[in-house]
Amino acid sequence: MRRLICFVGAVVAITIGFPETWDELSAAHSRLGASEARIAPAVHEQLDLSLIDVWAAQIGPHDRWWIVVPADRPEGLTTRAEVYRAYATYAFLPAVPASSLADATVVLRPKALP
C-alpha cells in the first residue's frame, strides 16, 4: 500500500511540476546566446571567470590538466574547489582532467578561490 501511495504521489508531482518547469527552461534557453549559454553555469555558481580564462589560456587541446587547491569549507554537498573542477571539465574541452597530479601535463595552482 505504501508503494502505491508513493507512486501516486510521484505521478501527481510530475504531472503538476513538469509543464511549469519545462516552460521556464524553454524560456531561459531562448534568451541566451551561445556565448552566454557557455558561461551560464559559471555565472550561476559565481565562479571567477577571469581566473577560468587565465587557466584556459595555459591549456592546449591535448593536455591533461590538474587543479591544485587548498582544502576548503564544505558548500552544500561539495566544496568550492570541486565546483571549479566540475566546471573546468567542460570549459577546458578538448583537454581533459588528469587522473592524478603525476599524470598532469598542466598543473593549475590558484592562490585562493573566491
pLDDT of residue 114: 60
pLDDT of residue 22: 59
Residue 18 C-alpha cell reads as 513538469
Q: Are 61 and 96 in contact (CB under 8 A)?
A: no
Q: Residue 93's pLDDT is what?
A: 92
Task: Supply the pLDDT for residue 40.
Answer: 81
At 97 the pLDDT is 94
pLDDT at 21: 62
Whole-angstrom CA distances from 73 to 80, 82, 93 are 8, 11, 28
Alpha-carbon span 16 to 10, nearest angstrom? 10
pLDDT tens sequence for the chain (114 residues): 778 887 777 776 777 766 666 565 555 556 777 777 788 888 888 888 888 899 999 999 999 999 987 777 787 888 888 888 899 999 999 999 999 999 999 999 887 666
